[in-house]
Amino acid sequence: MEETCQILAIYLSPGHNFFGRHNQTALAHEILSVPEVDCVAGSGLVGDRFFDHKRAYKGQVTFFSREVFDTLCEGLGLCEMQPAVLRRNVLTSGVDLNTLIGRTFSIQGVVFEGTEECRPCYWMDAALAPGAEEALRGRGGLRARILEGGTLRVDG
């Protein structure tokens, strides 16, 4: 099923700032905004920290909704925040990401399997603002596997 969603941004990071850092301070790997990314079936996004992380990894790519981000920022009183701070890979508009959990779908010819919600954790309060973890419960984005590769591009 081809989803009718718009890709607003694509973010990659070469290293982990929070993942695996429980009871430690966050690291400061940069977040890169790129116009396109190669998606490799079974491996992930070329250049991202989770590329080839482990076999059949549920989070080879993560999606986040611009609509949810705008509502979150409004609710927390944040004016200057950018979606990259959430460290999700693909910023979308026009699709309810929770409806893709447990489904196979395609965007721009790349085929994905929606595996689960990208549940927020306590790091969201540090990365964004106090209250972010709670505000994102049930709408933290989508984790997915890449079933058939290709290139995703930011829509013009």
Q: Are 3 and 111 in contact (CB under 8 A)?
A: no
Number of H helices, E strands in the chain: 3, 10
Per the rule left: phi > 0, alpha: psi between -120 and 50, beta: everything else, 80 is alpha
Closest by alpha carbon to 86, among 114, 126, 127? 127
Instruction: Give me 122's structure tokens.
Output: 């306590």
pLDDT tens for each residue of the chain, 156 residues long: 456 789 999 999 885 545 554 565 554 557 889 999 999 999 999 999 888 888 888 999 999 999 998 988 888 887 777 888 887 899 999 999 999 999 999 999 999 999 999 887 667 677 777 877 787 788 888 999 999 999 999 997
Global pTM?
0.84
Domains of the chain, with CATH numbers? 6-15+47-153 (2.40.33.20)
